Structure 1
Amino acid sequence: MLTSFDNIPAADRVIVALDCDAWEAIALADKLEGHAKWLKIGMTLYYAEGPAIVKMFKRRGFNVFLDLKFHDIPHQVQGAARSAAASGADMLTMHTVGGVAMMEAGQRGAVEGAGEYGGEVPATLGITVLTSMSPEALAATGVARPLPEQVVALAAQTAEAGISGVVASPQEAAALRELLGPDAYIVTPGVRPAGAALGDQSRVATPAQAFEAGASHIVVGRPITEAADPVAAFDAIAAELESASR
């Protein structure tokens, strides 16, 4: 299925995950400036540095995916989303298992925070099933559905809640694109270039496979950030994606 993201340059659909301390994150951003458009700030970096790290990368011209995976009562998630959007974040995440009312509150908070920041409302994304989880790990939590069915069921609730899209593994991207349509954000971690170590990821695909399956954006961390030359690693992924899209 064609998507609303297909005309965006491939490099602008690759999100570099900065799961490290501030000094390393800043050094990586220095190298990637002019190559990468998106940086992901997760819990490791945000809990150490707070909103200031988002604001700094925004001043330097990057888009920021703030991946804090909100999961609480609706009132708390609304406030958290408002604060995240007010810091300038361009994407933020919440767990779909918090339910429709919680996600609706997160969307309201994102709108409120964007008004305070004076920018566009960030993309609001629902976490379905973590890409580190295998079918056996999911079943051990008490979920009776097969893993792909659980992902689709949770994604359907994001559409009901009116948020922008989902975070899911590349292996579920095709089914989610069919479900959510061409305009939904489908952001896929668990992306590894051919031959790269899997790390703690369980459900993975190559960058080209993720795009072909319908991902709007891919998240790549260690294959770029731990490479001897992060810029060369990023450019190689972007070139692979551009080639695959022709």
Structure 2
Amino acid sequence: MKNSLIVALDFANKQEVHQFLEPFGNEQLFVKVGMELFYQEGPSIVYELKEKNHQVFLDLKLHDIPNTVGSAMRGLAKLGVDLVNVHAAGGKDMMMAALEGLEVGTPAGFVRPKCIAVTQLTSTSEEQMNREQLINVSLEQSVLHYASLANSAGLDGVVCSSHEASIIREQVGADFLTVTPGIRLASDEVQDQKRVATPEFARGAGVSAIVVGRSITRAEDSVQSYHQYKQAWEGVLK
């Protein structure tokens, strides 16, 4: 999944999803199904996307006691998704339980979904983290700590901002996945994200995959916007 552009399907229902995907024809995308969509439509939306050969990142950010997360992952593994996630703040035991659940739940002959951990949300500033989470280190230190914890638990990578990706690569390893939301073109609005970056910056930082939502899904021409982001991400000269 390295060098992937993941489109966040932040829609309220499957009708909106199909309306968005229709202009893409048979083009196969890597898409993200988050809480808003999954809680409305359930597993059926995942099955429909996989039937069309799209790769799916199921973004539910599980965070609970290890037994609960492990059991949940055992069920999610049966959906055939390509990528899932948990909150690193749940701790090493929880992350290990998530991985074990995925391994047990993945049907024979299928590849286990990659599992990554959320470090600090890209909508969180360092000041917010210090004040509201009572984490009295720098944002970079917090993210790196969570990344190291996820790596020690055996996870495949983390969700972080592009600004922390390079130091994670240096200290955890180049094979450890860094999936980064908060991606905007220089001409885009920042919206509710705080730690944003352009596709070009993310590529230069060695990011594994970028996640783009409203800038594509709410664009006047979503297909054109998608390919504009893809070209910027892949370094294709216009």
TM-score (norm 2): 0.94
**Cα distance between partner residues in 1 of 2:71 and 2:200:** 37
Matched to 1:138, the amino acid is M
User: In the alignment, is the contact (CA less than 8 A) between 1:208 and 1:244 conserved in 2?
Assistant: no
Aligned with 1:188 (options 171, 180, 183): 180
**Cα distance between partner residues in 1 of 2:57 and 2:202:** 18
- How much does 1:34 deviate? 4.0
Aligned equivalent of 2:162 = 170
Aligned with 2:7 (options 8, 16, 23): 16
For these two proteins, the number of residue pairs brought into alignment is 235
Aligned equivalent of 2:24 = 32
- Asked if 1:121 is matched to 2:112, the reply is yes
User: In the alignment, is the contact (CA less than 8 A) between 2:182 and 2:211 conserved in 1?
Assistant: yes
- How much does 1:38 deviate? 0.4
**Cα distance between partner residues in 2 of 1:215 and 1:147:** 18
**Cα distance between partner residues in 2 of 1:142 and 1:18:** 33
**Cα distance between partner residues in 2 of 1:111 and 1:60:** 25
C-alpha RMSD of the superposition: 1.6
- How much does 1:25 deviate? 1.2
Aligned equivalent of 1:239 = 231
- How much does 1:35 deviate? 4.0
- How much does 1:179 deviate? 2.0
Aligned equivalent of 2:141 = 149
Note the alpha carbon deviations across 1:196-226, whole angstroms, 9 max, x for none: 0111100010011112111110000011000
How many percent identity over aligned positions?
A: 39
- Asked if 1:159 is matched to 2:178, the reply is no
**Cα distance between partner residues in 2 of 1:121 and 1:240:** 30
- How much does 1:244 deviate? 5.8
Aligned equivalent of 1:109 = 101
- How much does 1:36 deviate? 4.9
TM-score (norm 1): 0.91
Aligned with 2:85 (options 64, 85, 93): 93
Tell me: CA distance 1:216–1:33, structure 2 relative to 1, closer, same or farther (3 Å): farther
**Cα distance between partner residues in 1 of 2:87 and 2:62:** 6
Aligned equivalent of 2:126 = 135
> What are the ranges of 5 or more consecutive residues in structure 1 without an aligned counterpart?
none
